[in-house]
Amino acid sequence: MKVAILGRTEILYDTTLLLQKMGYEIGCIITSKEAPEYSRTSKDFEALANSLNCPFLHSSNIEKVQEFIEQLPAMEICVSINYTGVIPESIINLFSIGILNAHGGDLPKYRGNACVAWAIINGEDKIGLCIHKMIGGELDSGNIIERDYYPVTIKTTITEVFNWMNTRTVELFVEAVKKLEKNINYQVEIQSKDNLKALRGYPRLPEDGQINWSSSNIVVQRLINASNKPFSGAFTYFEGKKIIIWDAEIVEEYENYLAIAGQVTKINTDSIEVATGEGKIRIKTIEIEGSITNPNTVIKSIRKRLTNHQ
């Protein structure tokens, strides 16, 4: 079976390599300008296409993409991640099986943007990863071909979920292609067309990581976990300076206490404890003025408080 590659990211690059290793012919590679955080560039995809002796296109113009594919020998299926343009039905129809997309979210519940972060913030006990068929002009709505889950606890960060997804997505793509090769009608779930049965996630911005100390310690911990690397981190202020919190944990209660939310309640040898609107958080690693350090090197007194403002 001949497979087209459309999109960007190191995940798509690794998927291409594994598909080729598994005996699939790569019919073409189409990419566009990479985002700054990607470790694989358009030049890497061009070099890969040259090594596989397959046609290559670098373009964000969807009309050029369609013209390019139409001039090539027929291909049964396309694998796509993070292409810069919206892929119309006219391009999907160029492939007898269609176009597969990877989505970090438990479809249909989590569609759209920042689904992993929203799932952590919402306290889900697992996060889905889906390979689904694309439908032109629609968002994450095609039938699901493969799915897997990553278990989530109060200690789970978005960093570890992404690390799992980076590896598992490649494997799921290949598993999906193999199953569709045997049965073009294979699917694990037909997604409902009722939008009220789905949950749409909208983009999160760096400023959404600001901690409200009046929230419970569980809410604060989830925000820290969901804002972690590769994102800009959950943050607060101390004496007018911004502090990013990279590592923290829930404090198991050991006292009855009265404290203002944001109050430093204990200085440990390698951490500090802070009161929230309900319960406490133990902060273990912070970043301040570009330096990553233990918080007790900066905050040295229980008379100090972390605030929601400069």
| Burial class of residue 108, CB neighbours in 10 A (0-12, 13-18, 19+) | buried
Residue 112 counted as domain residue: no
Q: Do 29 and 88 lie in a common domain?
A: yes
- CA atoms in the 13 A half-sphere facing the CB of 85: 17
Residue 167 has pLDDT above 90, yes or no: yes
Q: Can you give the CATH number for the domain in which 240 is found?
A: 3.10.25.10
Residue 245 counted as domain residue: yes
CA dihedral 222, 225, 228, 229 (to 10 degrees): -150
Question: Domain limits at 276?
Answer: 206-297
Residue 65 counted as domain residue: yes
Q: Do 188 and 220 lie in a common domain?
A: no
The rounded distance, in Å, linking the Cα atoms of 37 and 98 is 29
Mean pLDDT over the full length of the chain: 95
Residue 305 counted as domain residue: no
Residue 119 counted as domain residue: no
Q: Biggest alpha carbon distance in the chain?
A: 73
Q: Do 177 and 45 lie in a common domain?
A: yes
265-299 tens-digit pLDDT: 999 999 999 999 999 999 999 999 999 999 999 99
Cβ proximity of 188 and 107 under 8 Å: no
Token pair 């009722």 is found at: 194
Question: Which helix (DSSP H) or strand (DSSP E) does residue 126 occupy?
Answer: strand 126-133
Structure tokens at 164: 């799992």
Cβ proximity of 306 and 269 under 8 Å: no
78-117 tens-digit pLDDT: 999 999 888 999 999 999 999 999 999 999 889 989 999 9
Choosing from 145, 171, 194, the residue where a domain stops is 194
Q: Do 34 and 140 lie in a common domain?
A: yes
Q: Do 183 and 233 lie in a common domain?
A: no
pTM of the model: 0.92
CA 160 to each of CA 165, 188, 220: distance values in angstroms, whole numbers, following the listed order: 9, 26, 18
11-38 tens-digit pLDDT: 999 999 999 999 999 999 999 999 888 8
Cβ proximity of 288 and 241 under 8 Å: yes
Total tally of structural domains belonging to the chain: 2
Cβ proximity of 273 and 280 under 8 Å: yes
